[in-house]
Amino acid sequence: MSEICAVEGVPVIQLVGPLVLGYQFNWALFGVLSVQMYIYHQAKMPDGRFVKTLVYGLYLLETVQTILATHDAWHEIALSWGNCVSLLGLYWAWLSQPVISGIASATIQCFYAWRIRVLSKSTPLALFIAAIALMQGSAAIAEGISVLVTQNVPGTQVDTFKITTVWLGGTAACDVIIASLMVYFLSRSRTGFRSTDSMLNTLIRIIVETGMATAIVAIIELSMFLSFKHNFYHIVPSLMLSKLYSNSLLVLLNNRLTISYRRDSEFTGSEVSGGRSRGEIDTQRSRGVVQVSIGRETFSDSIAMVKLPQGAEQSQEGSGSGASKPYDDDLV
């Protein structure tokens, strides 16, 4: 293959290099996603049907995306070696990159909108976030259809820059809004109990890291798409975006195991010293619930969904004993 592609006068390295890196990152992130999926499946968390359908559906979607990307990699890098016309072919890129990325990101963002609705008790706020998510998802689908109709891969940046700006700009904006609101509402849930606040801090850190990661990659892709014409630099973040979204969701869900384990470790000693047997504790764990009694306060934690206290209810003094009611609130 000549160093300059005769079709567009673009150095071949600016076409093949980004493709090689993009496909490698795509496969690597699919491997990470498969490990996360295995952990989620083995944990057998008693999530609702909606959450399980979402998780397994996203993994199936990412599997299809990986298969399509592998098909394109074979045709572009192997079969088209030495042929610039075939190297610039569309193949399944219109579906595997904008369409599937838009569907995955919009679905996960709508899931976060639902969780914000639970935390904030504000339906208009959740609808606002869902509207932004659906807008960017629709723009991503429109981008894929537009490229499929024009079949002009080298001119994609010129032909569809407005649609792509709405898609990737809306994606980044929605991620920033979700991360900011989740941090705000989680911070308000602090109660002063060390274990609960530690759990909140862990969740806040995960949400900031994953939310900012997807937003930054979307901004990088948009910047490359608009700045570098007639090359494939933007393909690298494009092939990573949907996998990052799916991984971010599973990382958040799987971290419930770590949080529950830490709380078990902190409270088990107090439970045993308080007179409860190891058998009673294990029986509680087998049902997915750990109940911890320390003095006159009782805390409940479910590994099905992280349950956080909204406000501590003080124990009422009785004639000869004290008691308090368990309190919990859905979080993630």
Q: How many domains does the chain have?
A: 2
Q: So what's the pLDDT on residue 261?
A: 55
Q: Calculate what percentage of the chain has a pLDDT beyond 70.
A: 75
Identify whether residues 292 and 304 lie together within a single domain.
yes
Residue 107 pLDDT grade (very low, low, confident, very high; cuts 50, 70, 90): very high
User: pLDDT for 43-89, tens place per residue?
Assistant: 887 788 999 999 999 999 999 999 999 999 999 888 888 788 888 88
Bridge pairing between strands 10-11 and 4-5: antiparallel
Which of 246, 263, 280 is the last residue in one of the domains?
Answer: 263
- In the three-class reduction of DSSP (H, G, I as helix; E, B as strand; rest coil), residue 312 is classed as coil
Identify whether residues 258 and 271 lie together within a single domain.
no
Q: 291: part of which helix (H) or strand (E)?
A: strand 289-294
Instruction: Give the burial class of 81: count Cβ atoms within 10 A of its Cβ; 0-12 exposed, 13-18 middle, 19 or more buried.
Output: exposed
Identify whether residues 97 and 206 lie together within a single domain.
yes
Q: So what's the pLDDT on residue 132?
A: 96
Nearest to 143 by CA among 115, 173, 171: 171
Q: So what's the pLDDT on residue 186?
A: 85
- The CA distance from 65 to 62, in Å, is 5
Q: So what's the pLDDT on residue 145?
A: 95
Identify whether residues 63 and 103 lie together within a single domain.
yes
Q: So what's the pLDDT on residue 190?
A: 75
Q: So what's the pLDDT on residue 165?
A: 93
Q: What is the token pair recorded at 164?
A: 């792509």
CATH number of residue 136's parent domain: 1.20.1070
Identify whether residues 244 and 317 lie together within a single domain.
no
Identify whether residues 111 and 175 lie together within a single domain.
yes
Which spans in 228-314 are helix H? 235-273, 278-286
* Helices and strands, number each (H, E), in the chain: 11, 8
Identify whether residues 237 and 295 lie together within a single domain.
no
Identify whether residues 245 and 324 lie together within a single domain.
no
User: pLDDT for 285-294, tens place per residue?
Assistant: 444 444 444 4
Mean pLDDT of the chain: 80
CA distances 45 to 52, 107, 254, 284, 309, Å, are 9, 21, 9, 15, 21
Identify whether residues 159 and 289 lie together within a single domain.
no
Range of the domain at 237: 4-263
- In the three-class reduction of DSSP (H, G, I as helix; E, B as strand; rest coil), residue 5 is classed as strand
Which of 241, 263, 285 is the last residue in one of the domains?
Answer: 263
Nearest to 176 by CA among 138, 136, 140: 136
Query: What is the pLDDT averaged over residues 250-270?
Result: 68
Identify whether residues 45 and 163 lie together within a single domain.
yes
Range with the poorest average pLDDT among 103-112, 225-234, 321-330: 321-330
Please determine, for residue 307, whether its predicted confidence score (pLDDT) is greater than 50.
Answer: no
Cα torsion 220, 221, 222, 227: sign: positive
Residue 322 pLDDT grade (very low, low, confident, very high; cuts 50, 70, 90): very low
Identify whether residues 188 and 298 lie together within a single domain.
no
Nearest to 172 by CA among 117, 94, 69, 244: 244
More confident residue, 268 or 123: 123
Which of 263, 293, 321 is the last residue in one of the domains?
Answer: 263
Identify whether residues 52 and 70 lie together within a single domain.
yes
User: pLDDT for 170-229, tens place per residue?
Assistant: 999 999 999 999 989 888 877 777 777 777 788 888 888 888 899 999 999 999 998 888
More confident residue, 299 or 254: 254
